[in-house]
């Protein structure tokens, strides 16, 4: 019976055939232990000299790392293995012999692994991270679909900037100038006026000269936008969404979390409500913690975010930032116009900002004024102003960075491990 490693539990005591690669191997004179993987999972195959033909045993002993093979054997329950099953091998058929696979079980440096990312993805650790990334993506679709949101796909080639000009990738669009999208937000606002509650999920591009463990040049963002939803309600949706992601991974990716050695007790209590502090309170807290150089009106850097997050065991919303350090479209607090109705969500355990969001300006005159203050006037913005001319309504939205969220949930130190082929400041290969 042909099957996959993920389905062997349905075949205990029966013979199955699985297409696999050899991840690793140990053997002695009488027995060989094959660590096999097939994409769906990892399983140990045991080849006992006395139970197979001499030919099969010799083939097993000579197998090289990453050789592809059909393996036939009997499925056994095995309480000692984390997976719970193993295979008593009866037959082996080599598909393709791999010679001198570069990533050996010994330790390799990061640059070497990054140069071999196309192969490094096969490792157990990278496999687990990619499975959790996939779970987060599917839980995203589930959450928004079940809550009445419509998936809308904003363009990637754009004529405008959403977040401000400096970090745009420029390209030619025939005779015009175009930019790779750094956020779909402005288009999602238009979509919210057509469909009510919408969300997007797509790649975004930022030519940031930042070489940190949290910055990618190309990253994936989930951007919900909601008509008739004001600041506080948006925060509630954010905490429900993030909790849903964490709880889904906890219930469906136990094996992966275990193989990554993730401390799940830190994830188990990620449930609404999340704490909220204002920017003012955050500044006060930082002063108390000895960050005396930061003053009101300055933006937080990674060390500030880490210091604030350390005070909480759940993600924390920092709200009401000064208008002048935030994007032009954010709505001023009616009681105190120098701050805006926005929030950044800072993940626990030092993983930094995972969400940026706000209520949007819905008043035409104020939005025009902001455009001028930010030197953003230009024909490309006309359509965005139209949204405030024809039936403008209060609305809010946010953007969750997928890779930073995957880093937090998996416990990966650096975002380079959370996307299949990372684009970093000095890396466009492979
Ligand atoms: O805070 P940002 O810049 O917000 C926006 O782009 C809004 N237009 C979103 C919206 O309201 N629709 O980015 C949102 C999130 C950040 O919180 C972070 O998680 C992630 O995107 N992010 C990055 N992730 C990896 N590498 C980078 N260079 C990132 N820049 C932002
Ligand atoms: Mg931000």
Residues 121 and 269 in one domain: yes
Is the Cβ–Cβ distance between 323 and 297 less than 8 Å?
Answer: no
pLDDT in the model for residue 427 = 96
For ligand 1, atom 11, which residue shows the shortest CA distance?
A: 398
For ligand 1, atom 29, which residue shows the shortest CA distance?
A: 215
For ligand 1, atom 20, which residue shows the shortest CA distance?
A: 401
pLDDT in the model for residue 82 = 83
The CATH number linked to 11 is 2.40.50.140
In a domain, 23, yes or no: yes
* Ligand 2 geometric centre to CA of 122 (Å): 33
Q: What number is the average pLDDT over the span 196-217?
A: 96
pLDDT in the model for residue 10 = 98
Q: Which ligand is nearest to the CA of 214?
A: 1
Residues 171 and 312 in one domain: yes
Domain span holding position 42: 5-96
* Ligand 1 geometric centre to CA of 97 (Å): 44
What tokens appear for 380 in the block?
Answer: 């490309």
pLDDT in the model for residue 159 = 85
Q: What pTM was estimated for this model as a whole?
A: 0.97
For ligand 1, atom 22, which residue shows the shortest CA distance?
A: 401
Residues 132 and 42 in one domain: no
Residues 178 and 221 in one domain: yes
β-pair partners for 156: none
Tens digit of pLDDT for each residue in 129-164? 999 999 999 999 999 999 999 999 999 999 876 666
Residues 79 and 121 in one domain: no
Residues 35 and 154 in one domain: no
Which of 39, 66, 96 is a domain's end point? 96
Q: What number is the average pLDDT over the span 245-253?
A: 98
What tokens appear for 127 in the block?
Answer: 């496999």
Residues 122 and 186 in one domain: yes
Q: Is the pLDDT at 377 greater than 70, yes or no?
A: no
pLDDT in the model for residue 402 = 99
pLDDT in the model for residue 161 = 66
Residues 157 and 36 in one domain: no
pLDDT in the model for residue 31 = 97
Task: Give the span between the Cα atoms of 412 and 194, in whole angstroms.
Answer: 39
Residues 54 and 196 in one domain: no
- Alpha helix ranges (H) inside 378-428: 382-386, 402-410
Residues 152 and 92 in one domain: no
Task: Give the span between the Cα atoms of 201 and 151, in whole angstroms.
Answer: 8
The CATH number linked to 307 is 3.30.930.10
Tens digit of pLDDT for each residue in 387-401? 999 999 999 999 999
State what percent of residues in the chain have pLDDT above 90: 92
Residues 238 and 148 in one domain: yes
What tokens appear for 94 in the block?
Answer: 């080599």
With a 6 Å cutoff on the Cβ, whether 422 touches ligand 1 is: no
Q: Is the pLDDT at 165 greater than 70, yes or no?
A: no
pLDDT in the model for residue 416 = 98
Total residue length of the chain: 430
β-pair partners for 364: none
Q: What is the ipTM of this complex?
A: 1.00
Phi and psi at 85, nearest 5°, equal -140, 155
Task: Give the span between the Cα atoms of 143 and 137, in whole angstroms.
Answer: 10
In a domain, 276, yes or no: yes
Q: Is the pLDDT at 105 greater than 90, yes or no?
A: no
In a domain, 430, yes or no: no
What tokens appear for 121 in the block?
Answer: 């993805």
Residues 77 and 123 in one domain: no
């Amino acid at each position: 019976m042909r099957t996959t490693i993920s389905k062997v539990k349905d075949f205990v005591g029966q013979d199955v055939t699985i297409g696999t690669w050899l991840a690793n191997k140990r053997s002695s004179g009488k027995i060989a232990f094959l660590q096999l993987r097939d994409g769906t999972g990892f399983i140990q195959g045991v080849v006992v000299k006395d139970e197979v033909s001499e030919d099969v045993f010799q083939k097993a002993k000579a197998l090289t790392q990453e050789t592809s093979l059909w393996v036939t054997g009997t499925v056994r329950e095995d309480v000692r293995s984390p997976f719970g099953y193993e295979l008593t091998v009866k037959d082996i058929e080599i598909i393709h012999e791999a010679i001198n696979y570069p990533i050996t079980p010994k330790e390799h440096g990061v640059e070497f692994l990054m140069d071999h990312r196309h192969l490094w993805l096969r490792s157990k650790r990278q496999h687990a991270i990619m499975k959790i990334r996939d779970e987060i993506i599917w839980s995203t679709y589930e959450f928004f679909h079940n809550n009445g949101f419509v998936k809308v796909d904003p363009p990637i080639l754009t004529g405008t900037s959403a977040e401000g000009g400096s970090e745009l990738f420029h390209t030619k669009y025939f005779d015009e100038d175009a930019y790779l999208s750094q956020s779909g937000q402005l288009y999602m606002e238009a979509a919210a006026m057509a469909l009510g509650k919408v969300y997007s999920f797509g790649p975004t591009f930022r030519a940031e000269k930042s070489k940190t463990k949290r910055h990618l040049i190309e990253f994936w963002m989930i951007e919900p936008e909601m008509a008739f939803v004001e600041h506080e309600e948006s925060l509630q949706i954010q905490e429900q969404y993030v909790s849903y992601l964490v709880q889904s991974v906890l219930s469906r990716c136990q094996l992966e979390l275990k193989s990554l050695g993730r401390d799940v007790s830190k994830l188990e209590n990620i449930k609404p409500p999340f704490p909220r502090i204002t920017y003012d309170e955050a500044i006060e807290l930082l002063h108390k913690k000895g960050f005396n150089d930061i003053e009101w009106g300055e933006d937080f850097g990674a060390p500030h975010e880490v210091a604030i997050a350390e005070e909480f065991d759940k993600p924390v919303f920092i709200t009401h930032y000064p208008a002048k350090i935030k994007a032009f479209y954010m709505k001023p607090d009616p009681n105190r116009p120098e701050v805006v109705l926005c929030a950044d969500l800072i993940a626990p355990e030092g993983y930094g900002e995972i969400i940026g969001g706000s209520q949007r300006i819905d008043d035409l005159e104020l939005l025009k004024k902001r455009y001028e203050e930010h030197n953003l006037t230009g024909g490309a913005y006309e359509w965005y102003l139209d949204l405030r001319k024809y039936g403008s309504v209060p609305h809010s939205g946010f953007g969750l960075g997928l890779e930073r969220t995957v880093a937090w949930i998996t416990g990966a130190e650096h975002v380079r491990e959370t996307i299949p082929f990372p684009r970093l400041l000095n890396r466009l290969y492979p």
